[in-house]
Amino acid sequence: MHPYEIPAFYTPHPARLNPHAEAARAHSRSWTEEMGILDDTGPDGSPVWTRAKYEAHDFPLLAAYTHPDCSEEVLGLVSDWYVWVFYFDDHFLEMFKRGRDREAARAYLAGLRAFMPLDPAAEVPETSAPVERALADLWRRTAPPMSADWRERFLGYTRNLTDESLRELVSIASGEVANPIDYLQMRRRAGGAEWSAGLVEAALGAELPARVARTRPLRVITDAFADAAGMHNDVYSYQREVEEEGELDNGVLVMDTFFGCGPQRAAEIMRDVVGSRMRQIENTAATELPALFAEHGLDAGECGRVLRYVKGLQEWFSGTDEWHLRSGRYPGAAAAGAAGAAGGPPEAAGLGTAAVRAAATLSLGARALAAAHAPVPRTPAEPVRVPEFAMPYPHRVSPHLEAVRAHARDWARRTGLLDGPVWDEAAFEAADYPRFAALTHPWADRGTLELVCGWHLWAFYLDDLFVQDFKVPRNIAGARAYLEALPAFMPPDPAAAPAPADPAQRGLADLWRRTAPVLPEAARREFPGLVRAFTESWLWELANDVQHRVPDPIDYIEMRRRTAGTAFWLALARLALPAGEGGPVPGEFLSSDQVRSLTESWSDIGPLRNDIASFRKEMEEEAEVNNGVLVAQRFFGTTAQQGADVLAAAADARLREFDRAARHDVPALCTELGLGGDARSRVDRYIGALRLWLAGHREWTLTTGRYRAAGPRRLPALDRLLHGPRGLGTSAARPPGPRPLETRLDGRCAP
């Protein structure tokens, strides 16, 4: 019996079946035999796939449902790709996962890359096994008509898919269940949905134009699709993967472990995340693609390809939902899913029940849309207890604190930051921004700490200016123009900066004049881009404010790293490291996958905790929808305190992951890269600096006056924005009243 009833999923379109489904079945059956897949055996001599198993899984049916409009020839090719990818997964399980043979698995995966050369005309090695033979054949049939850009992206997707199998093997050996943020990032790469998105491009003749394929809107659309497809599969494959194969990388298990809520509730949380990701595609397509088309000058044909791609992803998801209900690969789940989808017995998934499932998915969509856009009560905000926040590292305070306080006060006055209306002397003193610098960079010398403190002051000031001048009035055009003007104050030659017109521009020009000379050449080229990415990410927040849309939780977490400026803060930490002790942190270390993962964990801790501390301020004073407490509260349908508890638990999980990576992954990476002596010392100082930064950020967050109520002050126009217009004939322009949602968060986060 299946451990839970599989819930109905939100699907944007009804599933449609390609009319060439039977031809695809016949073709792929013949191709599978030709490649020798059904003759392949595992270590014990038994076949990896029997003919009966192959027929029951019915991968051509998956292709026919996920690509309903492609030709017979293309459908045959797509069917073969799906046969290969599922066979690769099952073959890897039998050959390497069951035996926990990591070194053999690593060598095997490295060898597969040779069968997919970037140049499809290049020679490939002689194949020695069905997995290799099939991959070489598929690449030969797929790659030639596609552009070099598509081939490069698809090779990356395939490598992610295959290499993450090794990470799953390591996870099984560790016995540890990942936290949700780590898991979602891993699942995106490992699940094959990015790879499937690449096939959608090829099958529909909808290859993304190279100049926009890696832009934020299309990256968000592809990532949201990958997340939805992967987590949808997790709900169906739980019994097979967790109970039969001993897998720990399954989203239902991850949510159950994190929330302590049981598999049924965990599956429902997954259902909600999947629906949110599919609606993220809709929102991004509607609100960001038109501007993308105009910005990059796409012609009608290119715009059409992008839109076909987006629709193709939506069709794919509807199709995979249908296939999971029908395939024999997850027989227990299919029966449990039929009952959940139709609200009745398993046979309700058959002919004539599409309307029942369509009604269910519309209900899911309407409920989630109401939750995301419902008005946010703000006066007063629901009180939220700020926890002590776990921290395994002690904090330190720079001995230069008092000198830096005096310098910061003088600099803020000289640049005009304290002339109002954004800041006044009292607010400046209460926040104690110099203490933030002294706590997060306690190792820095006085001159460097004064410079770092100046950047902190400027960033906090610009954030408050942006809220007052652009967020509250909902002025997107003005915000964009203002932010686009800032890079002019960071030219290669600081003396070439234009005359500043306000305190923010004046402060930026002064900081860049003092910073540029002390940066290494590569960092000097990179630094202005980090500042620009940091500040321009606030346009994403402003767009949510204008739509009165509480963000999708995954998009929020990923964008929160940018809106908090964590890449910028990392650059400041490296700037503040002592000079003359062997040079900068080795580039090959900083660019590694292990350090990328470590810094992503580091980057989540401070911003998530800040959202809890700043909840009252942002709700009551700023009319804000971009706050993690609110995101969790709306998504799970809970109180603000429960939302804060979820956020605190997520930050704690990221802290544990950072600590684990710093203690285990970093030493192993240094050994792998041959970093010893001076280079290893620089790495150790950098990791130590990141630990001190976290400890200092926690201390400042818990003690600063920045987030404390300062009286009944309200920002201009706040009442009008919260309550809408009044008077005869204006009711349609006002937002609807709040719609109560069921309290759905169980386990340790329950009241």
Residues in Cβ contact with 186 at an 8 Å cutoff, skipping those fewer than 6 apart: 164, 167, 178, 249
21-343 and 401-718 share one fold: yes
Could you read off the pLDDT of 148-191 as tens digits, one per residue?
999 999 999 999 888 877 777 766 667 788 889 888 888 887 77
Q: Which CATH architecture has domain 401-718?
A: Orthogonal Bundle (1.10)
Could you read off the pLDDT of 361-392 as tens digits, one per residue?
555 555 555 555 555 655 567 789 999 999 99
| CA pair distance 717, 740, nearest whole angstrom | 27
Structure tokens at 140: 């030969």
Quick one: which of 511, 332, 299 has its CA closest to 417? 511
Query: Which of 636 and 97 is assigned the larger pLDDT?
Result: 636
Give kind and range of the element (H or E) at residue 594. helix 593-613
Structure tokens at 250: 């399954």
Q: Which of 88-92, 291-295, 657-661, 744-748 has the lowest mean pLDDT?
A: 744-748
Domain boundaries, the chain: 21-343, 401-718
Q: Under a CB-based contact definition with an 8 Å cutoff, are residues 373 and 687 in contact?
A: no
| CA pair distance 182, 176, nearest whole angstrom | 12
The whole-number pLDDT of residue 166 equals 76
Q: Under CATH, domain 21-343 is a member of which superfamily?
A: Farnesyl Diphosphate Synthase (1.10.600.10)
Could you read off the pLDDT of 64-118 as tens digits, one per residue?
999 999 999 999 999 999 999 999 989 988 888 777 778 888 888 989 999 999 9
Residues in Cβ contact with 652 at an 8 Å cutoff, skipping those fewer than 6 apart: 389, 390
Mean pLDDT, rounded, for 460-470:
97
Burial of 190 (0-12, 13-18, 19+ CB in 10 A): buried
Q: Is the pLDDT of residue 745 over 50?
A: no
* Portion of the chain with pLDDT greater than 70, in percent: 87
The whole-number pLDDT of residue 740 equals 30
Q: Is the pLDDT of residue 747 over 50?
A: no
What does the mean pLDDT of the chain come to? 87
| CA pair distance 92, 99, nearest whole angstrom | 10
Q: Is the pLDDT of residue 728 over 60?
A: no
The whole-number pLDDT of residue 380 equals 66
The whole-number pLDDT of residue 355 equals 46
The whole-number pLDDT of residue 165 equals 78
Dihedrals phi, psi of 444, to nearest 5 degrees: -70, 150
The whole-number pLDDT of residue 27 equals 97
For every residue of 148-160, DSSP letters joined together read HHHHHHHHHHHHH
